[in-house]
Amino acid sequence: MDKKVKRYELDRARIILERFEEETVLVNIESGYYYSVSSAGSEILELLEEGLAADDLAPALFGDSETLHRFQIRIAQFVEKLAVEGIVVERDPASSAGPGLHKGWPLHPDGAGYEPPMFERFDDVRDLLLIDPVHQVDPEHGWPKKRASANSIETRA
């Protein structure tokens, strides 16, 4: 039985992102979570966006087979975490994006200095990110404000 080739893409309907020098910050506009993705994780996101299959990521990153095998499991786990968090979704097999020929492969021929991909999830501004600025405006101040639940008592100073 043939193993199914999994290709992923960023879930652009729910995820917005900004790339910086050493990290990528992603925001899930449905859940309110935001994520910080390491430099290596940013490279993986870019390769997925280019249409690479999940199994082709490690070969695209490493030329040395020993290094490839050392990081292959971590890369697969990272992609699985991205999928579980809803950051990436399986690419439609009929989509036109395919395995692009990335010039400069492998990106880290001998793996020297390579840090495994990682990301952190934050929820400290989740309530603010989930406010609907059109429908949840405080009439007194004209600023978005989280609605009080039916079970809570709102007091004003």
**Rounded to whole angstroms, how far apart are CA atoms 152 and 52?**
49
Query: Does the residue 145 lie in any domain?
Result: no
Query: Does the residue 64 lie in any domain?
Result: yes
Query: Does the residue 30 lie in any domain?
Result: yes
**Range of the structural domain that residue 100 is part of:** 8-129
Query: Does the residue 137 lie in any domain?
Result: no
Number of structural domains, the chain?
1
Q: Express as a percent the part of the chain with pLDDT over 90.
A: 45
Listed residue (31, 79, 22) closest to 55, CA to CA: 79
| DSSP states along 76-91 | HHHHHHHHHTTSEEEP
pLDDT (tens digit, 9 = 90+) per residue, 110-155? Answer: 888 889 999 999 988 777 666 655 555 566 665 555 555 444 344 3
Query: Does the residue 91 lie in any domain?
Result: yes
Average pLDDT of the chain, as a whole number: 80
Query: Does the residue 41 lie in any domain?
Result: yes
Q: Can you tell me the mean pLDDT for 99-107? A: 64
**Rounded to whole angstroms, how far apart are CA atoms 29 and 102?**
31
**List of E strands, 75-145:** 88-90, 119-122
102 pLDDT band, cuts 50/70/90, is low
* Residue 27, beta-bridge partner list: 16, 34
DSSP 95: S
Query: Does the residue 152 lie in any domain?
Result: no
Q: Could you tell me if 8 and 48 are in contact, meaning their C-beta atoms sit under 8 angstroms apart?
A: yes
Of 156 and 107, the one with more pLDDT: 107
Query: Does the residue 57 lie in any domain?
Result: yes
Range name among 48-57, 70-79, 100-109, 129-138 with the lowest pLDDT average? 129-138
Q: Can you tell me the mean pLDDT for 91-96? A: 73
